[in-house]
Amino acid sequence: MIRSTATFLLLLAIGMLQEARADDWPQFRGPKRDGVSGETGLLKAWPKEGPKLLWTYRDAGAGFSPPSIVGNHYYCMGSKDTKDYVFALDTRTGELLWSTAVGPRRPTGWGDGPCATPTVDGDRLYALSILGELHCIERATGKSLWNVHLKNELGGKILHDGRYTESCLIDGDRLICSPGGKNGTMAALDKRTGKVIWRSKGLTDEAVCSSPIVVEVDGIRQYVNLTGKGVAGVAADDGRLLWKSNLSAAWIMVATPVAFKDCIYVTTAYGVGCGLLKLSREGEGIKADVVYRNKLMKNHHSGVILVDGHVYGCSDPIGWVCQDFETGKAVWDDRFFLDKGSMAWAEGHLYCYSEDNGEVVLVKATPKDWQKVSRFTIPEKTKIARKQGKIWTPPVIANGRLYLRDNDLIFCYDIKRN
C-alpha cells in the first residue's frame, strides 16, 4: 500500500528512470535526431481502414509540436487560452497525467502554438515555449524546476518574427540551445541548474527554427546548427567557432542538419535548395569544404531522412525525392501520389503524412523506386482555424505505435505485428 503522496511520487520517479526502452523516441526526430526508428516487428501492410486506432486525445491545444515518448509516457506541447503548455499522457490509455504552463501564448499569422519537442533526459524533460521560455520539468509531477528566458535573460535574437521552435539538445551534463544574437548564437547550459556554461565565441548570428545536432570530426566534438546566415559548428568544450558556411541561408530555415561521418547535409526551401559540406581538421579548428550545392531538395520544414547513402524528403515544388547523399544527384522523384508532407522511417519503410488532408502512406522506399504499400486518412480533422498553417507535425513511431497529430487532436495507432 502506498502510504503517502511523497512515497507515491518517489516510486513513480524510480519507475520512469527504469522504463526507458530501445524503442523509445526521447527527443526531436527520435533517438539519434535523424527521423529513424530502430524498431522491428512492425506491420508490413495495413488494413484498408488503416491500423487499429487505440485512442484519440482531443485537448492538446493549438500547435505543431512533435512528441517525445519514453516508456508509457507521451510528452508534448500546445497552446490553450493565453498560455503555452507542456503536458504528459499515458500511452496505454491516452489519459492526461499532468499539464504545466511554460509561457504566454503568441498568436501568429500562420497558425498558433508551440513547435518544439520536449527533450527527455532521466527524470527530467526540457521544453521551450514559442516566446523563448526554457523550462526544466520534473517528469513525475510536471513541476518546473528551473527556467530561463532565451530572449529576456540571455539577450537572444531570432530571425524572421521572433518565434522559438528549437528542440533543445542534451549532451552529457549540458543543455545546448540557440538563443541567437550578439552574446553568442548558441549556448551551453548546466542541465541541472540552467546556468550558462558558455556562449558561442565568434558566432553571433540570429537564431532560426532549426535544432542542433552533435557530431565529432577528427577528434573534435562539436554542435552544428543552422543560423541566420547559413550553417555553423562550434566546439563542444568552450563554444568557439570552428567553421561556418552560407550554405542554405534563407529568411526562414527549419530543417535540422544531417550528419554522416565527416559530412554535413543541409536543406531549406524558399528557392534555396540543399548542399553537402565535408569537414576536416585544420590546426585546432575545422574547415568546411562545399562538395555540392543544388536546388533538388528544397525542404520546407519537415526535414529529410538519410538511409543507406540516400536522402529522402519532400521538396518544394518537385514533390517526394530520393537523392544521392555523396553526389547530390537525383535518383527519383514523385509529385503525384501524395501531397507535400512530413515523414519518419522504420524497418525499411517511410511513413508519409500529408499536410493537406491528413492522409498517411506506408512506402517501401529504396534507391530503385518507392512502392506505395498502404494508405489511410486520419478519422477527423481539427476544428481550430488553420489560418495559413497546415498539418505540420511529423509522425512519430515508438514502442510499436504510430502517433499522429492535427493541432488539438492526437491519434495513437497500433502498428506492431502480432
148-189: per-residue pLDDT in tens?
999 999 999 998 767 899 999 999 999 999 999 999 999 999
pLDDT at 262 over 60: yes
Q: Looking at residue 111, what is its pLDDT?
A: 64
Distance CA 168, CA 118 (A): 8
**Residue 24 domain flag:** yes
Residues 229-245: tens digit of each pLDDT: 999 999 999 999 999 99
**Residue 208 domain flag:** yes
- Which residue do the cell numbers 508551440 mark? 114
Compute CA distances 124 → 9, 24, 142, 333, 393, whole Å: 14, 15, 9, 42, 23
Region of poorest pLDDT, from 78-82, 118-122, 175-179: 78-82
**Residue 266 domain flag:** yes
Q: How many domains does the chain have?
A: 1
Residue 148 identity: V
pLDDT at 3 over 50: no
**Residue 13 domain flag:** no
- Tell me the percentage of the chain whose pLDDT exceeds 90: 83
Nearest Cα neighbor of 265 from 295, 296, 229, 304 is: 304
Residues 347-405: tens digit of each pLDDT: 999 999 999 999 999 999 899 988 999 999 999 999 988 777 799 999 999 999 999 99
Q: What mean pLDDT is predicted for residues 52-73? A: 97
Q: What mean pLDDT is predicted for residues 285-313? A: 95
Nearest Cα neighbor of 408 from 81, 98, 119 is: 81
Region of poorest pLDDT, from 22-26, 58-62, 63-67: 22-26
**Residue 8 domain flag:** no
pLDDT at 408 over 60: yes
Distance CA 412, CA 252 (A): 31
Give the range of the structural domain holding residue 94, as residue numbers without chain letter.
Answer: 18-414
**Residue 77 domain flag:** yes
Distance CA 184, CA 202 (A): 7
Q: What mean pLDDT is predicted for residues 270-293? A: 94
Question: What is the side-by-side order of every strand in the sheet holding 119-121?
Answer: 119-121, 124-128, 133-138, 144-149
Q: Looking at residue 388, what is its pLDDT?
A: 72
H helices, E strands: number in the chain: 1, 33
Q: What mean pLDDT is predicted for residues 42-67? A: 96
All three cell numbers of 66, joined, read 512533435
Distance CA 173, CA 175 (A): 7
Nearest Cα neighbor of 199 from 214, 225, 213, 179 is: 179
Region of poorest pLDDT, from 1-5, 144-148, 272-276: 1-5
- Which residue do the cell numbers 528512470 mark? 17
What is the residue-wise DSSP string for 340-366? Answer: SEEEEEETTEEEEEETTT-EEEEEEE-
Q: Looking at residue 93, what is its pLDDT?
A: 98
Q: Looking at residue 19, what is its pLDDT?
A: 56
Nearest Cα neighbor of 41 from 22, 17, 25 is: 22
What pTM was computed for the model? 0.94
Phi-psi region at 3: left, alpha or beta (left = phi > 0; alpha = psi -120 to 50): alpha
Q: What mean pLDDT is predicted for residues 1-25? A: 54
All three cell numbers of 331, joined, read 535518383
Mean pLDDT estimate for the chain:
92
**Residue 12 domain flag:** no
Length of the chain: 418
Region of poorest pLDDT, from 15-29, 94-108, 262-276, 303-317: 15-29
Q: Looking at residue 275, what is its pLDDT?
A: 97
Q: Looking at residue 87, what is its pLDDT?
A: 98
In 19-112, which residue ranges form alpha helices assigned H by DSSP? Answer: none
Tell me the CATH number at 399.
Answer: 2.130.10.10
CB proximity list for 9: less than 8 A, separation 6 or greater: 140, 141
SS3 assignment, position 6: helix
Cis check: omega of the bond before 107, within 30 degrees of 0: no
**Residue 66 domain flag:** yes
Q: What mean pLDDT is predicted for residues 36-50? A: 96
Q: Looking at residue 5, what is its pLDDT?
A: 45
Q: Looking at residue 8, what is its pLDDT?
A: 41
Nearest Cα neighbor of 268 from 298, 243, 291, 293 is: 298
